[in-house]
């Protein structure tokens, strides 16, 4: 009697071999998940979770960009607050010095020298930068709003006011102040960059179409009402301060004995005091906007954390579960190898009767 291996026997062998290959692939996949911590290295491997994972990734990128934008905006606002505070301090100081000169006009020599230094200081503060951004330049943020800040006393602006102040004895206080104001507001004399004329305040996008203005322009008020026009103000607190300092810087000890001297100085007290009031209004308004931007930054951060958590639930591997499956697969693979090894020892003789 004879006996042979059937097709079914070979079919069983094929099934074991195929099963072994599948288990090896499963082990490779589980090993990759253990190493990377992710279910898959690409969206295709996530199956039905691919679409929501992709959507979450887009939202995360958008929210992260908004968070970065608000962080940068907050830095600009903080720098603007600091600079405006220092400029306000200069204006307050010279308002006090002008009041003191009403009883001690002979101090004009000291005040004049200090005013020249302060003029350069204020111009420099208007060129405050955060990184490559000029804080008070508006949308043209790569251009210094006061091109010759370090040389203000050599500008056409300063020279024009100097010419007006020189006529104090002859023209009287009112006419001199009017001439100085006219010189300060004449476009050809402007110490500001031409780009400011067509610029707008820079702003930050808080999402949903909400835009929040950052710092005021170097030559204009932001929220503050005009400090008034006429013989004491240009209508802009920064321009008033530059004008007031330039006027003081050009007054001389000889002029201090002239009857027109004190009326002019009293006018400058009004100029500086109005500028202080207006700049404080803008500082307060800027603080409110800064709070709004900081709150948005925090909100974007919280939203991003939530989205990251949702994405992790879709694409992060459960390492404890993966370890269990890996152990089971390795055991199954070992069993398959043992079966294949035993099949390899079978011969036709083992199927024949003794």
**How far apart are the C-alpha atoms of 338 and 341, rounded to whole Å?**
5
Q: Which structural domain, as residue segments, surrounds residue 190?
A: 61-308
DSSP, collapsed to helix, strand or coil, labels residue 212 as strand
**Measured distance CA(220)–CA(251) in Å, rounded:** 26
Confirm whether 197 is domain-assigned. Answer: yes
Q: Which pTM does this prediction carry?
A: 0.76
* Per-residue model confidence (pLDDT) at position 336: 61
Cα-based distances in Å from 44 to 25, 162, 191, 254, 310: 17, 75, 61, 86, 18
Assess if residue 255 is contained within a domain: yes
Residue 277 · residue 223 · CB < 8 Å: no
**pLDDT of 106:** 87
d(CA 35, CA 23): 18
Residue 54 covered by a domain: no
Residue at 132 is within a domain:
yes
Q: What is the pLDDT of residue 57?
A: 79
In a domain, 13, yes or no: no
Residue 120: per-residue pLDDT: 97
| C-alpha–C-alpha distance, residues 215 and 72, integer Å | 12
In a domain, 35, yes or no: no
pLDDT averaged over 10-residue windows placed end to end, the chain, 354 residues: 45 59 56 52 57 79 90 95 97 96 90 97 98 94 95 96 96 94 92 91 90 94 77 90 97 94 94 95 94 91 83 57 57 60 54 50
Query: What pLDDT score does 3 carry?
Result: 43
The CA–CA distances, whole Å, from 256 to 101, 103, 107, 167, 227 equal 9, 11, 9, 13, 27
Domains of the chain: total: 1
Helices 156-166, 237-249: inter-axial angle, 10-degree rounding: 60
Question: Which CATH number do you get for residue 95?
Answer: 1.20.1330.10
User: Does some domain include residue 144?
Assistant: yes
Establish if 178 belongs to a structural domain. Answer: yes
Pairing of strands 133-134, 129-130: antiparallel
């Amino acid at each position: 009697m004879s006996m042979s291996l059937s097709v079914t026997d070979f079919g069983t062998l094929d099934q074991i071999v195929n099963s072994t290959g599948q288990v090896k692939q499963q082990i490779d996949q589980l090993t990759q998940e253990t190493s990377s911590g992710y279910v898959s290295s690409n969206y295709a491997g996530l199956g039905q979770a691919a679409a929501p994972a992709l959507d979450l990734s887009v939202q995360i990128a958008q929210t992260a960009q908004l968070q970065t934008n608000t962080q940068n905006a907050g830095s600009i606002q903080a720098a603007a607050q600091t600079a405006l505070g220092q400029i306000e301090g200069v204006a307050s100081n010279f308002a006090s010095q002008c009041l003191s000169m009403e009883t001690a006009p002979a101090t004009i020599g000291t005040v004049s020298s200090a005013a020249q230094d302060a003029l350069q200081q204020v111009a420099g503060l208007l060129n405050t930068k955060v990184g490559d951004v000029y804080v008070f330049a508006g949308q043209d943020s790569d251009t210094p709003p006061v091109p010759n800040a370090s040389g203000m006393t050599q500008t056409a602006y300063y020279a024009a006011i100097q010419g007006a102040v020189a006529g104090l004895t002859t023209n009287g206080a009112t006419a001199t102040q009017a001439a100085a104001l006219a010189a300060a507001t004449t476009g050809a004399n402007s110490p500001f960059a031409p780009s400011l004329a067509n610029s707008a305040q820079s702003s930050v996008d808080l999402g949903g179409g909400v835009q929040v203005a950052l710092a005021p322009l170097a030559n204009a008020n932001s929220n503050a009402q005009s400090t008034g026009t006429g013989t004491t103000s240009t209508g802009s607190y920064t321009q008033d301060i530059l004008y007031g300092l330039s006027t003081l810087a050009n007054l001389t000890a000889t002029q201090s004995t002239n009857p027109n001297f004190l009326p002019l100085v009293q006018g400058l007290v009004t100029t500086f005091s109005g500028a202080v009031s207006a700049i404080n209004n803008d500082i307060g308004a800027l603080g409110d906007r800064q709070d709004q931007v900081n709150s948005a930054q925090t909100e974007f951060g919280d939203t991003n954390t939530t989205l990251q958590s949702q994405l992790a639930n879709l694409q992060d591997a459960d390492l404890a579960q993966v370890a269990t499956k890996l152990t089971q697969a390795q055991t199954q693979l070992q069993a398959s190898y043992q079966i294949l090894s035993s099949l390899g020892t079978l011969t036709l003789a083992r199927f024949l009767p003794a």
